[in-house]
Amino acid sequence: MEYLVAGLVLVAALTAVNLALTVAVTRRWRARVSAPPAAHHGPAAVDGELDLGIAPGDRMPAFTAVTADGVPVTRDDLAGRPALIAFLSLECSSCDDSVPELGERARRVRDAGGKVLATVVGIDAADSELAARLVGVADYVVPEFLDAPVSAVFGARFYPGFAHYGPDGVATATSIGLEGLGEPAQPSVP
């Protein structure tokens, strides 16, 4: 009988340790998922307002990505025309809510001869409902894992983030959330 009690105590102790480790790993994973990508544009707040990490006047960086359909996309695919880039995350409820208005803005960009690229960050982003909703909205839907390489190259820190680029590849408007994007400024002249 003592062996049975000792075995049950041992199993209970191992179960408690397993539970503690699982909780710790889950917390770290959630913190990693909700953390914005690293940025290279200075502080997160400018004059008390959040800074997307991309500013009007910034040039579009060189990047290479693969869409959910396996099609490669680079800066050259967006060059010479207006471009709207959306940085979205599966962990962001505002990202999902922004899709209808993003669709309207994407239509205006396409009417002006431009292209729309949307990144979706998260585990299983390629198979997500958000990525599926973006298929008719964006010309290029790029799923990204948690390290968000495309978002990091652009310097985007927060979701949902949006950047409008002119045909010359210079950002004309940027915002966290579409309501702050406004109408894009006229493209700069090189």
pLDDT at position 163 is 92
How far apart are the C-alpha atoms of 140 and 67, rounded to whole Å?
6
Mean pLDDT within 85-107: 91
pLDDT at position 75 is 93
The per-residue pLDDT for range 126-153, each reduced to its tens digit, is: 899 999 999 989 999 999 988 888 988 9
Cα–Cα distances in angstroms (integers) from residue 113 to residues 79, 82, 94, 118, 166, in the given order: 11, 7, 28, 17, 11
How far apart are the C-alpha atoms of 45 and 68, rounded to whole Å?
33
Edge to edge, the sheet with strand 140-144 lists 140-144, 115-121, 83-89, 161-165, 171-176
Residue 95 has pLDDT above 70, yes or no: yes
Look up the pTM and report it: 0.70
> According to DSSP H, which parts of 55-172 are helical?
75-78, 93-97, 99-111, 129-134, 149-154
Mean pLDDT score of the chain, rounded to an integer? 83
CA-based R_g, the chain, Å: 21
Give every CB contact of residue 167 below 8 A, 6+ residues apart in sequence: 79, 80, 81, 82, 187
The per-residue pLDDT for range 174-187, each reduced to its tens digit, is: 888 887 776 544 44
CA angle 115, 116, 120 (to 5 degrees): 155
> According to DSSP H, which parts of the chain are helical?
2-34, 75-78, 93-97, 99-111, 129-134, 149-154
How far apart are the C-alpha atoms of 114 and 165, rounded to whole Å?
9
pLDDT at position 188 is 42
Mean pLDDT within 165-169: 93
pLDDT at position 33 is 54
The per-residue pLDDT for range 101-133, each reduced to its tens digit, is: 999 999 999 999 999 999 999 988 889 999 999
pLDDT at position 61 is 93
Which tokens sit at 97?
């809510």
The per-residue pLDDT for range 16-61, each reduced to its tens digit, is: 989 888 887 877 776 655 554 443 333 344 444 567 788 899 999 9
